[in-house]
Amino acid sequence: MSAGKKATIIITIVICVPMIPWALIYLGALFSPNPPLPEIRYGEFPFRLEYEINGERFIMEDTVVCEFDGIGVDGGRGKYLKWKTYLADGTKLSNRITFGQ
């Protein structure tokens, strides 16, 4: 076997072997059953938030809207239900809450 073929095989092994666990996780998630679909796929939740920062008082009133957005797949959770969450005024919500203006 030539030196070029040996180098190609070694490089292929070095690149592919670390990918095997991730491929197995993905295949496991891909072939696992889907979670049951929610009966309620849309909801609105009005809220009132009062807070104070540096002696200044703020009041926020709005409605959180939650909509079912299908089924997602990732290596950490497998298959999961995806939801879109946003305020009624159209502001998208994230996992963070930022206070102040």
User: Using one digit for the tens of pLDDT, what is the confidence trace for 38-85?
Assistant: 999 999 999 998 989 899 999 989 999 999 999 988 777 788 999 998
Query: Whole-model pTM?
Result: 0.63
Overall size of the chain counted in residues: 101
CA atoms within 13 A on the CB side of 94: 3
Q: What is the pLDDT of residue 95?
A: 57
Two structure tokens written together for 15: 């690149």
